[in-house]
Structure 1
């Protein structure tokens, strides 16, 4: 009996050791569903090249063999808090990461079977790229979404130029430029999530979704679990958001905010003045153009900008100041909005050499 206990405890220890060495993304079949778990909970499930490289072929395979795909994050703090920007600022690694990540975003946007993202916890940047392009996005009371890229010298990528301009009343331009966070039922109100389900019911929801045999059953089940939204916390300022962020330039947005003169506009002005000036103008240009483009075209445009960001001063500097040295004192170049010329902004959007352009996995070329 004693020997059996030793063997059993050894087996448990081995199992724990193996689980600690688990893959950064897990794939399993549950009844009719393919289930993806982003498995870097200590890093808030942030994406790296290893993860997106595994995601692409598995999603392709499941598209023709499963009834639906469910994607979630390990732990209860985060679905996915974004991409691993410390790696993304590398001039070699960055473009490789973006190339694969954008292919995953593109596939999700054209996925033939129901793709259900359980966005429980922090869902930012790359996390939105893994969710918002899919057919169903389930938020909980723990959900916090944001596109905070202008704070680190980047821009809202992963298809942000596609989905942000398509949100109601210029809300997407506001979120993309300020990086403001939305929580819980506000995420449904904004149009970023499709359903709200309390986190305590997620296990039950996932199990029942996996048993569905068609999309009609999936829709009915999600609607059954869905809790109605409450009043949008930004409701009192929606008219101001629509007015201010309809402006064609950052300078004019600031002028309009100065005219509003309330607590929200003062806070928004303070936020904009703390952001990277170049990023603000690049972001506005990307969102204005993205409003007229399909998802694939947006991602091709974003890839050019992202590659140029890895080669520029601001993106590495923003990551250094906020995430590496953490001195929170980035030295932006250009340092002011007035110094960010139209030629500077446009240089980020120019085509790359043909062999460096973004190619999709289903490209005929």
Structure 2
């Protein structure tokens, strides 16, 4: 079979898969993927795709954004609460499989999804009303973007936080370049490069969540919040503090990374990813060996892009970080590691991606630099 015919067949299959995914997305819309209601003087958003761990798709973003903007200007709305149905996940991430299928065939979803998601992330970050995310369950990728830029983030013992994007040839987006470098020391860089998972109270201890409340107390917390009359951010803070003070679960357990924080600061202090890997290998401790092994499995291009993303993001506004990340998202769409990572981790699940280039040394500074270059009139604007 000729290469032209093979390419056409591949494109056709990808297009068919994309149409199937989009058809499924449309059909589940009938079941309302996101619920929005006014309860008292609160605007309440409920992510409602529990069967797929409330994964965020384009139609959900397109429903949430205008409603959030409306509530932000509405004198009858004093605060916004975002939560999720199902009890297992707040939001496990974006609908990445649909995006990769779109990217393969040049469908506009590959631009639209990231563009509209980042515009929503910025709206959350600039919302003038107290925005309270109840991150009860798995919170990764797109779910982090829906929560971390809001003023209040409430973790429970069921919260599982991670930004595992380097394992799929992507980078910790949705404003990761803004909030990660602002965590203590080199903790954000460590989380970004390794995809390390934080659970329960540790999500707050790391600085990702602002409060910790036991899962069973969340309905009472929500009721107390919606019953507030014309609350200020300080009033909301007082309610959250009082619920946190009544939540003693795991309070005596130390932070999971407590004994490693000084190691992380030391080992992840380097002017390059190669330097970090050298530090880890030279250290010889079990912790360092394990991190070196984890990094060896990640996309080398993703690691280098992520390192630079956080380096630059540390001194940028959220809006400027999102403009930068949109450029990076489109660079991933043009490259090959993202498609290969999604195939290996989410589709075939063989967990053995073939990265190109396959080593850090082969990823040139120039190729990294190109990922950050302007898209001209296609750049993200707010």
Paired residue for 1:61, among 56, 63, 70?
70
Shift of 1:317: 1.1
Q: Give the 5 Å matches for 1:280-359.
A: 280-354=303-377, 356-359=378-381
Paired residue for 2:114, among 93, 98, 115?
98
Describe the superposition over 1:212-236 as per-residue Cα deviations: whole angstroms up to 9, x where unpaired: 1212321111110014755211010
- 8 Å CA contact 1:105–1:130 kept in 2: the answer is yes
> Equivalents in 2 of 1:94, 1:52: separation in Å?
14
Q: Give the 5 Å matches for 1:34-113.
A: 34-65=43-74, 66-89=77-100, 90-91=102-103, 92-113=108-129
**Which residue of 1 is the match for residue 235 of structure 2?**
217
**Which residue of 2 is the match for residue 160 of structure 1?**
176
> Equivalents in 1 of 2:306, 2:267: separation in Å?
16
Q: Give the 5 Å matches for 1:187-336.
A: 187-212=203-228, 213-215=230-232, 216-226=234-244, 227=247, 229=251, 230-336=253-359
1:117 is the counterpart of 2:117: no
SS of equivalent residue, structure 2 residue 271: coil
Shift of 1:29: 1.1
**Which residue of 2 is the match for residue 135 of structure 1?**
151
Moved more, 213-222 or 295-304: 213-222
- 8 Å CA contact 1:140–1:198 kept in 2: the answer is yes
> Equivalents in 1 of 2:281, 2:354: separation in Å?
26
> Equivalents in 2 of 1:166, 1:20: separation in Å?
37
- 8 Å CA contact 1:155–1:282 kept in 2: the answer is yes
Shift of 1:352: 0.5
Describe the superposition over 1:243-290 as per-residue Cα deviations: whole angstroms up to 9, x where unpaired: 111211111101111233222111111100010111000100101010
- The 1:280/1:19 distance shift into structure 2, 3 A limit, reads closer
- Provide structure 1 residue ranges, at least 5 long, that are not aligned to the other structure: 1-17, 361-365
TM-score when normalising by structure 1: 0.91
SS of equivalent residue, structure 2 residue 186: helix
Shift of 1:21: 4.1
SS of equivalent residue, structure 2 residue 269: coil
Describe the superposition over 1:162-209 as per-residue Cα deviations: whole angstroms up to 9, x where unpaired: 000000011000000000000011001000000000000111100110
SS of equivalent residue, structure 1 residue 169: coil
- Provide structure 2 residue ranges, at least 5 long, that are not aligned to the other structure: 1-26
> Equivalents in 1 of 2:369, 2:312: separation in Å?
12
> Equivalents in 1 of 2:121, 2:256: separation in Å?
29
Shift of 1:335: 1.0
Shift of 1:22: 2.2
Shift of 1:321: 1.4
Shift of 1:33: 0.5
> Equivalents in 2 of 1:22, 1:199: separation in Å?
26
> Equivalents in 1 of 2:311, 2:366: separation in Å?
17
Superposition RMSD in Å: 1.5
- 8 Å CA contact 1:240–1:260 kept in 2: the answer is no
Shift of 1:25: 0.7
- 8 Å CA contact 1:150–1:276 kept in 2: the answer is yes
SS of equivalent residue, structure 2 residue 185: helix
1:31 is the counterpart of 2:54: no
**Which residue of 1 is the match for residue 142 of structure 2?**
126
Shift of 1:88: 2.0
> Equivalents in 1 of 2:280, 2:84: separation in Å?
37
